[in-house]
Chains A and B, each alone.
Chain A
């Protein structure tokens, strides 16, 4: 399973943070944790839900690839379901600030 995480906007660095994780390259514990968190977040399909009226909300984009399947979730602070937060926390802790090219 490959998971790509991007966040941007809000009051931190607006370029945000990003990481790309591959369960085949993580240690066993992290790989199992990631798989479990993805399952608990119940991301089973691509979806986009961002409020057109939110201001300074952080934008989140998670892309999950497993075998032939690929899902992308694009949300912000006002639309993110609470059940996804443990996955977001895990990904945020491994993400690094993006730099201008």
Chain B
């Protein structure tokens, strides 16, 4: 008789467990996913995952929005215990409910504006784990799911508080399944850039703000307020998000290609040099006017999906956004000129 807490931790062949991840029954899916995470085969799968994250993308049963929120209970195991599935009522846990709501808004943004069915455009389930580790000052995308820490309460608050942070992280999934920009140097900075662009755009879309009305700060809500810090990044003013902060130091983002970071930290500055294309997008969007997601966002989305490759650099992104603006709105259109101006402001000529 099987006495394991999770009956799938008994002798159930892996092929059956994998099939069960597609079950229409939420409980069955959850148990199957826990099994995969816990089993010895998962350790081998993680090695494979390093090569092919798409293997772990589980399709939603109905091929539409499917959110699965897990609680790691301050431990290290992913995904943790399923606490809210698609259509379930609120849990009362702010972190779990924020992850549910904000991943839903992110799905809706991509679906309604760009016709995209989830991160992989095939209805991939959106898995988020909250309460990951103890006082964990970070959040990340691991190739197949999100993990959010609660922060230490000194520098950071829980990471699900910010819609732009959730949108940023899930957009890493979109990038993975489209251009798949390599995570180092300029391609990696573009990877971070697109996540910032759409993280901010999702927030502005929800608030119905124009580009000129809106805030261009990233991660404002996840910081414990202090006079020395306004946000994690500032697309309008790269390098000014925080200054002489005793815990964070000073914001190292450049706003111009001449000041590009050339060191080795942060995979060649992927979170540092993203300030350059971030500012180009901000200038483009405010120059065009109206809502950033409508024209600038569409130019950038089409560029990501149709033009960029894993090794694309800033110059290619600039050329492709310029060409795409011409494709969408005409040669020498106001929109195309705005893209040219945006890149010129950061020292990149198209």
Contacts and interface: CB of A to CB of B under 8 A. Distances in A.
Asked whether A and B interact, the reply is: yes
Interface of A: 6, 8-16, 51-59, 77-78, 82, 97-100
A100 B138 contact: no
Interface stretch (B260-268, B292-300, B314-322): B260-268
Given A54-B140, A56-B172, A11 B159 contact: yes
Contacts of A56: 138-141, 168-169, 172, 271
28 contacts: A8-B266, A9-B266, A9-B267, A11-B137, A11-B156, A11-B159, A11-B165, A12-B155, A12-B232, A14-B265, A14-B269, A14-B271, A14-B272, A15-B265, A15-B266, A15-B272, A53-B143, A54-B140, A54-B183, A55-B172, A57-B142, A59-B266, A77-B140, A78-B140, A78-B142, A97-B249, A98-B249, A99-B252
Interface residues of B, number: 43
A56 B274 CA distance: 13
Given A53-B53, A98-B249, A11 B143 contact: no
Contacts of A55: 140-141, 169, 172, 176, 183, 191, 195
Contacts of B8: none
B152 to A, nearest CB: 10
Contacts of B142: 51, 53-54, 57, 78
Contacts of A13: 242, 248-252
A97 B250 CA distance: 8
Contacts of B169: 55-56
A14 B270 CA distance: 8
Residue among A8, A56, A82 with the most chain B CB within 10 A? Answer: A56
Most chain-B CB neighbours within 10 Å: which of A14, A58, A78? A14
A9 B183 CA distance: 11
Contacts of A53: 49-50, 53, 142-143, 176
B150 to A, nearest CB: 13
Output the residue of B140, B155, B222 with the most chain A CB within 10 A: B140
A41 to B, nearest CB: 15
User: Which of A15, A52, A59, A78 has its CB near the most chain B CB atoms (within 10 A)?
Assistant: A15
A77 B248 contact: no
Given A56-B169, A98-B265, 9 more contacts: A11-B222, A13-B249, A14-B272, A51-B49, A59-B266, A78-B140, A97-B250, A99-B249, A100-B261
Contacts of A11: 137-139, 156, 159, 165, 219, 222, 232
A15 to B, nearest CB: 5
Contacts of B271: 9-10, 14, 56
Interface in B130-177: 137-143, 147, 155-156, 159, 165, 168-169, 172, 176
Nearest to B241: A13
A97 B265 CA distance: 12
Interface string B203-235: 000000000000000010010000000001000
Interface of B: 49-51, 53, 76, 137-143, 147, 155-156, 159, 165, 168-169, 172, 176, 183, 191, 195, 219, 222, 232, 242, 245, 247-252, 261, 265-267, 269-272
A14 B238 CA distance: 13
A12 B195 CA distance: 16
Nearest to A57: B140
Interface centre among A11, A57, A59, by most B CB within 10 Å?
A11
Contacts of B265: 6, 8-9, 14-16, 98
A90 B49 CA distance: 31
Contact of A51 (B50, B156, B159, B165): B50
Contacts of B247: 12, 97
Nearest to B180: A53
A24 B232 CA distance: 37
A16 B137 CA distance: 12
Contacts of A52: 50-51, 183
Nearest to A49: B50
A59 B249 contact: no
Nearest to B188: A55
Most buried by A among B195, B250, B271: B271
